[in-house]
Amino acid sequence: MLSSSEHAKSSWTQPIIRRQEVDLRIIPLGFLVLITVGTFLLVLPWAHQTGQFIGTLDAFFLSVSATCVTGLSTVNVAETFNAFGQGVILALIQLGGLGIFTASILLVLLTGQRLSLADEHTIRTTVGKLRRVRSVDVFAYARVFVIVFELAGTLALFVQLADLSPDKSVGQLLWKSVFHAVSAFCNAGISIYPEGLALWRRHAGLLAVVEILAIAGGIGLMTLINLRYYYFWRHDPRRRGYLTLQTKVSLAMAALLLTAGTFSTLSFEFHHTLDDAAGWERVSWAFFHSAMTRTAGFNVVDVGGMNQPTLLVTLLLMFVGGAPGSMAGGIKTVTFAVLVLTAWAALRRDPL
C-alpha cells in the first residue's frame, strides 16, 4: 500500500512519464489513402498528353513509386503526362518524401499528446541540443529545412536554365526547376525530361545542384537539425553544442561511400560508359552516379551498359542507402556501420 504522499507523487508523475496510447496505424493508412488518390488522379484523361493513355495498373505503380520515392516508372513521365499529371506526381513525391518521420511527430502534435521523458531524451540526444527539445521543435525545423533546400535548389536551377535556354518561357523554366529540386531533395529520381537528366550531363553546375539536394536529403533531417544547433566557431563547449554519434557516423559514412563509389566508377568505366566524357566530366559523371545510386536514382550515363564490377558496387551502394530519418532507402548508413564494426569486433574476439 502506498502512503498518501507516495500516492500523490505517483499520480503527479504518471501522466508525464507514461506515454499515452497513439494509434500508429493511421500512418500506413494515410500512405494508402495518398496512393489511392494519386492513382485515381493519374488515370484521369485530363492528366495525360494529347493522344496518350495510361491504365490503372500503370497509374497505381507510378503512384506507389512517387509516394515511396523509389523513382521507378513503367511509362515516360514527360511524354505521358501534362502539367496537371506532373503536378500530381510532384505532390505525391513531396508528401511521400516527408515520410513516416514527419508523420509520426505530426500525429502526436495533432492528438494533443506528448512524448514520454525517455522519448524526449532520445530526441534531445539525437539533435545534439543542450536545452530541452520538444517534438514540435523537431517538426518545425524539419519543415523549415525542406522549404529552404527546395527553394534554394529551385532558384539555383532556374538561374542556370534561364541562361542556357533564353527562348523558354519563365513559367516553363520555373516548373522544371521546381519539379527537379523537389524530386532531388526527396530522393525520388523522377524527371520530366524525356531523356531524364542525361540532358544535363554537359552542365556541371546543374548536376552539382541536384547532387547537393540529393545528398542533403539523404543524410537525414535529424542530422541537418543537429548541424543547425552546432556552432563550431564558439570556443565554449557549453555554448557550442556537440555533434551526436549518429551525426558523426552519418557524415563519415556518406563521405566514405561517395568517395568509394566515385573511385570505383572511374576505375571500371573510364574507357567504357565514361569514354565520351571530356577531362573533369569523367569525375563529375562518376561522382553523380555514386551519389544518385545511393539516394536519388537519377543517371547521366547508360547504367544498363556498365561493366559488371561497376554494377556490383552499384548494388552495394543501393543496399546501404542513406542515413536514418532521411528521404533515402536502403538499410541505412548507420546500420551498415554498426554491422561492419560488430562483425570486425567478433572476428577479433573483442568484447562487444
pTM over 0.85: no
User: pLDDT for 126-170, tens place per residue?
Assistant: 555 544 556 666 777 778 888 999 999 999 999 999 999 989 999
Nearest-angstrom CA–CA distance, 192 and 190: 7
Question: Which has more confidence, 109 or 89?
Answer: 89
Question: Which has more confidence, 100 or 277?
Answer: 277
22-113 domain in CATH 1.10.287.70?
yes
Q: What proportion of the chain, given as a percentage, has pLDDT over 70?
A: 82
Task: Judge whether 98 and 67 are in contact, CB under 8 Å.
Answer: no
User: What's the mean pLDDT when you consider all of the chain?
Assistant: 83
Please provide residue 279's backbone torsions phi and psi, each rounded to the nearest 5 degrees: 55, -120
Angle at 164 between CA 160 and CA 169, to 5 degrees: 90
User: pLDDT for 123-136, tens place per residue?
Assistant: 555 555 544 556 66
Residues 6+ apart with CB under 8 A from 188: 66, 69, 70, 71, 93, 96, 97, 182, 296, 297
pLDDT at 9: 43
Nearest Cα to Cα of residue 82 among 61, 54, 56: 54
CA distances for 208 relative to 50, 163, 215, 287, angstroms: 34, 16, 10, 10
pLDDT at 11: 42
pLDDT at 111: 55
User: pLDDT for 17-42, tens place per residue?
Assistant: 344 455 567 777 888 999 999 999 99
Nearest-angstrom CA–CA distance, 253 and 333: 6
pLDDT at 112: 54
Residue 102 has pLDDT above 60, yes or no: yes
Lowest mean pLDDT among 102-106, 179-183, 335-339: 102-106
Domain ranges in the chain? 22-113, 114-347
Task: Judge whether 169 and 153 are in contact, CB under 8 Å.
Answer: no
Nearest-angstrom CA–CA distance, 152 and 174: 13
Residue 118 has pLDDT above 80, yes or no: no
